[in-house]
Amino acid sequence: MSILDSIKKSIFVPIHPSGLPFIIIFSLITMIIGWIWSTLFFVGLVLTLWCIYFFRNPERITPDNIDNNLVIAPADGKIIEINEIIPDEEIGLPKNKYVKIGIFMNVFNVHVNRSPMSGTILKRNYIPGLFFNASLDKASKENERLSLVMNVNNKVKIAFVQIAGLLARRIINDAQEGKKLVTGQIFGIIRFGSKVDVYIPIGSKINVLRGQTSIAGETILAEITSKK
């Protein structure tokens, strides 16, 4: 790839469709306030550029997963939690212990979410809640969230949960019950800072550490070796 191609790829990043209304509104307001008071035009321009940056949707190269046993990161961000817990009943997983991996997205991360594995959505559940900072432990239990249970094969089920944050007030999710997703496929986005939790079977080989940065659709979180 040439230097020019690299520059173009860095600048002309695709935008997630849900961001287009915001970008248009920010642009119109910038032009209006700029016409009234030129100094505010630059403030509006910065906010418009940030809005474009927030809704960016860069291409990702998902690792080959022929055996469908790799768990790929569903979100960009910082891994803030790796624990063995029994998921809340509302998520819809069997009442066993699972490994929970939590990924926190700040306002500068890409917020497009991608499927961690290939499979069929068995259950979708929206839970109203509060809007604590998504990096807090209580956010997984008390914040507004939307959970998906996926049947990876006849023996393995996983779940992933989009969690709203302090500024995130809108969870967008296109994955309905019965829908088939492939690893790395885009299924939603959370607006303005949030968290995604992934629940995988006990016995899986964990490939990441707390504090590590993940890239949605690319980072291998774990390898499922247990068939519980």
Residue 24 pLDDT exceeds 60: yes
The answer to whether residues 192 and 101 touch, using CB atoms and an 8 Å cutoff, is: no
Q: Report d(CA 1, CA 57) in Å as an integer.
A: 20
Task: Say which DSSP state 110 is in.
Answer: -
Backbone dihedral region for residue 178 (phi beyond 0: left; psi -120 to 50: alpha; all else: beta): left
Q: Average pLDDT, stretch 40-65?
A: 85
For the chain, what is the largest distance between any 2 Cα atoms, rounded to a whole number of angstroms? 64
Q: Average pLDDT, stretch 84-103?
A: 93
Residue 191 pLDDT exceeds 80: no
Integer-rounded Cα radius of gyration of the chain: 19
Residue 3 pLDDT exceeds 50: no
Active site residues: 194
Mean pLDDT of all residues belonging to the chain: 85
What is the per-residue burial (b if ≥16 Cβ within 10 Å, else e) of 73-88?
Answer: bbbbbbbbbbeeeebe
Q: How confident is the model at residue 93 (pLDDT cuts 50, 70, 90)?
A: very high
pLDDT of 111 reads: 87
* Residues 166-187: tens digit of each pLDDT: 665 578 899 999 999 999 999 9
Q: Above pLDDT 70, what percent of the chain?
A: 87
The token duo for 32 is: 């209006």
Residue 150 pLDDT exceeds 70: yes
